[in-house]
């Protein structure tokens, strides 16, 4: 691990520094994909399947061409694809950017039409004639696994994309010895619904392809484009302009990202496609849709000796890259939480159905896993007559347990698991008491808790087979002492520019306004995996720290030469170097840069010109495949948090209102408290929306929520004031001691709110709130079932 040279100036870490990107974003100077306008540009529109499952007999685009379209192609006519199936441990789906022989979900692209503008392209697309022969529909994972289920991929012999069935003798022994308590916990289908839908612009000029796309992983898009289109990666440039929210949904490579560039190459003119909200809600990847059957072998004191069960994920059609099964695997690793549970054996099934493919969404399986274990712990307490909070106290790891390895293989080297839990309980009891004081008589109020760990900077290898866990940074001084930092991560509203600038300024002891940050362009940024899994600050910070160390060492040599002092007598000061104990003897970075770049004759003998460095950083300890015992430490580190929610339930209407919410969170060393609080608040808001409002239901394979009239998002009225408190357990092996904060806010709400609703309705006999969403009809049904 790189340990930064000690500086004499106060640290920037932990300071409430205003975000450097906000002025541009708030004054309308941001540039999104829809703002990219190129000379001679034409627009694309897609013909999509209206049937969930069918054979393709004919796609006739001739009428569209006769109506003035510049180009029109159906799947059988398109020489593009298939998208390679790179992961050997799952079944191949062999999907093409345009469907060729079969459609497997409503919205599957069948044809593409290009015209002078979007309106003409849409009109021409309506003229495309499609002959589809309907096939039986498979709508749920349970139906897909029936013996007589229609097969989406007949060559498989069943509808399992992924099946993992581990064995563990220690788990079997525990279940033979102890009492068993079980439950099934279901998280429904919903999605990220970012403010900006997807979009792609492509231009082919001078035998080089340039693609602007709203993505979280520009270099991954470049690799896959080069593969599918048959180009060298050096001949493909991918630019990610400003991204209006990603949340994992834009960490997927979609058919349009292959087709629009191919059209630009074919037509030799720029092509643009911008997704509308209707398209977005049934063609961009969905999420969650997971059922977890979980059993615990329970000792007499309620503590858990072992867990076993099965995670079953409805993957939709499965036609996606990276693979959509990742959240199911991550859910398994989340089941132990911060608890001392010594043994685990949980199977995983990824099942295909005739619905939109699922993939990652903020939390990536951790909300589902946390929901299951937290609900099961509450059930154990209820059945054994033990206060569920006391039961958690018996199992939560403390400082004396660290470092600790969970039964799933996660290596926890730091954290404040017990402290965060106790503080959240204190806040929860206080908030509930305050709400009871101001509530109307007879109000149904309840409080719930969720405690968990979050793996950060996880390996991407299990779902891509081509990406591991590293990232890169270029740090370059200019002659005036300013610094340009180019990194491989991506910005999507999470404050990445400010975080990188802060870390670079901290490492080099320069003002933050002297740092310029570059990202999101494969021509100007070094190779990186992008932003997902709360990894950005950790991996970019590690790369910046290593590059900065190279520059500090070179800078101190130059400064020592200029001061005629020994390098060991110098220290990093504010803006440069000084002789230790002699503040007047200072050489600023600007002078060092001028010597290194222009006055090279003043360099120490044997020192090469230039003041720049490139570094790649791979966090220590990440495993890319399971060990022989099935355990796997897939993340660089782990944050911890406990959430508490206070709700009020109207039994007459079934409406649940979150009155108060608090999150006690530990993401290691905090770079910027305002940014971390914003991440937690945003995640909690999305979590509340997912539990109480948002859903993507289907009937006979037809999506029923394809506009914001039906897909109900929470507004400011539904989100309460959120209290956040940060604890600080620095990661001992990570530069700057940072962990990550991008996904923690969304993990706790499902479990905390479900328990709070259950608590509020206990006087009415409601127990075992074991599924989401908790919309008014669902809550009314829970009450009616309890009364009957």
pLDDT tens digit sequence for 275-316 = 999 999 999 999 999 999 999 999 999 999 999 999 999 999
pLDDT at 8 over 80: no
Match 């059609």 to its residue by tokens: 317
* Average pLDDT for 608-616: 98
pLDDT at 713: 97
pLDDT of residue 2: 53
**What whole-number distance in Å separates Cα of residue 399 and Cα of residue 416?**
7
Q: Which helix (H) or strand (E) holds 23?
A: helix 22-26
Q: What is the CATH number of domain 22-31+470-617?
A: 3.30.365.10
Under 8 Å between Cβ of 561 and 586: no
The pLDDT confidence band at residue 762, using thresholds 50, 70 and 90, is very high
Report d(CA 326, CA 480) in Å as an integer.
Answer: 47
Can you give the pTM of this predicted structure?
0.96
Region at 737 (left for phi over 0; alpha for psi -120 to 50; beta for the rest): left
CB atoms within 10 A of CB 433: 12
Predicted local distance difference test score (pLDDT) of residue 560: 96
- Residue written as token pair 């529109």: 45
Rounded Cα distance between 491 and 521, Å, is 11
Angle of CA points 53, 312, 693, to nearest 5°: 80
The CATH code belonging to domain 195-245+250-284 is: 3.30.365.10
Would you say residue 6 has pLDDT above 80?
Answer: no
Which CATH number applies to 42-135: 3.40.50.970, 3.10.28.10, 3.90.1170.50, 1.10.520.10?
3.90.1170.50
Angle at 186 between CA 185 and CA 192, to 5 degrees: 135
- What tens digit of pLDDT does each residue of 117-138 get? 999 999 999 999 999 999 999 9
What is d(CA 238, CA 232) in angstroms, rounded to the nearest whole number? 13
Has domain 287-461+623-787 been given CATH number 3.30.390.30? no
Considering just the CA atoms, what is the radius of gyration of the chain in Å? Answer: 27
Task: Please state, for a pLDDT cut of 90, what percent of the chain lies above it.
Answer: 97
Which residue in 115, 46, 121, 52 sits closest to 78, CA to CA? 46
- Look at residue 10 and tell me whether its pLDDT is greater than 90: no
Q: Are 755 and 375 in contact (CB under 8 A)?
A: yes
Could you tell me where the DSSP H helices lie in 270-387?
277-283, 326-334, 366-384
For 684, what's the count of Cα atoms within 13 Å in the CB-facing half-sphere? 29
Domain boundaries, the chain: 22-31+470-617, 42-135, 195-245+250-284, 287-461+623-787
Q: Kindly list the distances between the CA atom of residue 68 and the CA atoms of 74, 114, 117, in Å, as whole numbers in the listed order.
A: 17, 9, 11
pLDDT value at 162 more than 80: yes
For residues 367-375, give the mean pLDDT. 98
Residue 3: pLDDT band (50, 70, 90) is low
Per-residue pLDDT tens for 403-458?
A: 999 999 999 999 999 999 999 999 999 999 999 999 999 999 999 999 999 999 99
Residues 18-36, mean pLDDT to the nearest whole number: 94
Contact 242, 31 (CB under 8 A): yes
3-state secondary structure of 524: coil
Q: What is the pLDDT of residues 667-724, one digit of tens each?
A: 999 999 999 999 999 999 999 999 999 999 999 999 999 999 999 999 999 999 999 9
Tokens read off for 645: 């929610």
Token pair recorded at residue 499: 């975080």
Q: Do 195-245+250-284 and 287-461+623-787 come out as alike in CATH topology?
A: yes
Structure confidence at residue 448 (pLDDT) = 98
Stated as kind and residue range, the H or E segment containing 294 is strand 287-298
For residue 691, the tally of other CB atoms under 10 A from its CB is: 28
State the pLDDT at residue 467.
87
If we measure between CA atoms, which residue out of 112, 134, 141 comes closest to residue 42? 112
> 594 and 479 in contact (C-beta within 8 Å)?
yes
Does residue 4 carry a pLDDT above 80? no
In the chain, what is the greatest distance between 2 CA atoms, to the nearest angstrom?
A: 91
User: 722-734: per-residue pLDDT in tens?
Assistant: 999 999 999 999 9
pLDDT score of 330: 97
Please state whether the peptide bond connecting residue 322 to the residue before it is cis, i.e. omega within 30 degrees of 0. yes
* Angle between helix 388-395 and 366-384 (nearest 10): 120
Q: Which tens digit of pLDDT belongs to each residue from 585-604?
A: 899 999 999 999 999 999 99
Token readout for 442 is: 């007879």
Rounded to whole angstroms, the Cα distance separating 350 from 365 reads 13
Q: Answer yes or no: is pLDDT of 534 > 80.
A: yes
pLDDT band at 9 (very low <50, low <70, confident <90, very high): confident
Q: Which two tokens stand for residue 527?
A: 């190779």
Q: Which residues contact 226 (CB under 8 A, 6 or more apart)?
A: 232, 233, 235, 236
What confidence score (pLDDT) does residue 581 get? Answer: 85
182 touches 375 (CB < 8 A): no
């Amino acid at each position: 691990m790189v340990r930064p040279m000690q500086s004499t100036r106060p640290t920037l870490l932990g300071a409430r520094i205003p975000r450097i990107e906000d002025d541009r974003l708030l004054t309308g100077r941001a540039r999104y994909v829809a703002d990219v306008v190129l000379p001679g540009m034409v627009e694309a529109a897609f013909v999509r399947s209206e049937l969930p499952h069918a054979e393709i007999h004919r796609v006739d685009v001739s009428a569209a061409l006769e109506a003035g379209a510049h180009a029109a192609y159906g799947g059988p006519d398109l020489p593009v694809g298939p998208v390679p199936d790179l992961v050997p441990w799952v079944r191949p789906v062999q999907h093409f950017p345009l469907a060729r022989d079969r459609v497997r979900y409503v919205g599957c692209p069948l044809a593409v039409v290009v015209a002078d503008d979007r309106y003409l392209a849409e009109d021409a697309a309506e003229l495309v004639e499609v002959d589809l022969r309907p096939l039986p529909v498979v709508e749920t994972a349970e139906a897909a696994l029936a013996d007589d289920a229609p097969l989406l991929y007949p060559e498989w012999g069943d509808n399992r994309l992924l099946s993992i069935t581990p064995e563990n003798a220690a788990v079997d022994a525990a279940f033979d010895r102890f009492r068993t308590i079980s439950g099934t916990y279901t998280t429904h289908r919903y999605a990220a619904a970012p403010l900006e839908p997807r979009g792609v612009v492509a231009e082919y000029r001078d035998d080089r392809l340039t693609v602007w796309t709203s993505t979280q992983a520009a270099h991954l898009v470049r690799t896959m484009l080069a593969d599918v289109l048959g180009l060298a990666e050096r001949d493909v440039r991918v630019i990610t302009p400003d991204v209006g929210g990603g949340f994992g949904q834009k960490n997927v490579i979609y058919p349009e990202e292959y087709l629009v560039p191919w059209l630009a190459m074919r037509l030799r003119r720029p092509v643009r496609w911008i997704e509308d909200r209707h398209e977005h809600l049934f063609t961009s990847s969905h999420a969650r849709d997971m059922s977890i059957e979980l059993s615990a072998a329970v000792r007499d004191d309620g503590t858990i000796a072992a867990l076993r069960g099965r995670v079953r994920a409805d993957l939709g059609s499965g036609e996606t890259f990276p693979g959509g099964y990742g959240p199911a695997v991550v859910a398994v690793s989340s089941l132990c939480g911060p608890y001392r549970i010594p043994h685990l054996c949980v199977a995983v099934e990824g099942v295909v159905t005739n619905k939109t493919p699922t993939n990652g969404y903020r939390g990536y399986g951790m909300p589902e896993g946390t929901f299951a274990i937290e609900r099961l712990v509450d059930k154990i307490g209820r059945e054994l007559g033990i206060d569920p909070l006391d039961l958690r106290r018996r199992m939560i790891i403390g400082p004396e347990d660290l470092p600790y390895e969970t039964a799933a293989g996660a290596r926890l080297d730091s954290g404040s698991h017990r402290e965060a839990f106790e503080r959240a309980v204190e806040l929860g009891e206080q908030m509930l008491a305050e709400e009871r004081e101001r509530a109307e008589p007879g109000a149904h109020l309840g409080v719930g808790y969720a405690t968990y760990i979050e793996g950060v900077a996880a390996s991407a290898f299990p779902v891509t087979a081509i990406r591991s866990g590293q990232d890169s940074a270029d740090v370059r001084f200019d002659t005036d002492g300013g610094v340009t930092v180019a990194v491989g991560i991506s910005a999507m509203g999470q404050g990445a520019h400010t975080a990188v600038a802060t870390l670079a300024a901290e490492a080099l002891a320069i003002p933050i306004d002297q740092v310029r940050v570059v990202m999101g362009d494969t021509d100007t940024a070094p190779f990186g995996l992008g932003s997902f899994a709360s990894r950005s600050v950790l991996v970019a910070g590690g790369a910046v720290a290593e590059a900065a160390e190279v520059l500090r060492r070179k800078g101190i040599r130059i400064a020592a030469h200029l001061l005629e002092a020994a390098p060991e007598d110098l220290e990093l000061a504010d803006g440069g170097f000084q002789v230790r104990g002699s503040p007047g003897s200072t050489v600023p970075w600007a002078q060092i840069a001028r010597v290194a770049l222009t006055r090279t004759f003043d360099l120490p003998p044997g020192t090469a010109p230039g003041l720049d460095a490139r570094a790649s950083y791979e966090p220590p300890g990440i495993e890319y495949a399971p060990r022989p015992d099935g355990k796997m430490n897939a993340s660089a580190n782990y944050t911890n948090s406990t959430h508490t929610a206070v709700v009020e339930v109207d039994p007459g209407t079934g409406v649940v209102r979150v009155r108060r919410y608090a999150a006690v969170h530990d993401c290691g060393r905090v770079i910027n408290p305002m940014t971390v609080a914003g991440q937690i608040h945003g995640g909690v808001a999305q979590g509340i929306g997912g539990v109480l409002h948002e859903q993507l239901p289907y009937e006979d394979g037809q999506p029923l929520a394809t506009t914001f009239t039906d897909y109900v998002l929470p507004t400011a009225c539904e989100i309460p004031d959120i209290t956040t408190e940060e604890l600080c357990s620095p990661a001992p092996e990570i530069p700057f001691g940072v962990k990550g904060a991008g996904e923690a806010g969304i993990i706790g709400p499902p479990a905390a709110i479900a328990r709070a609703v259950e608590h509020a309705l206990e006087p009415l006999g409601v127990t075992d709130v074991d599924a989401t969403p908790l919309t008014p009809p669902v809550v009314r049904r829970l009450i009616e079932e309890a009364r009957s």
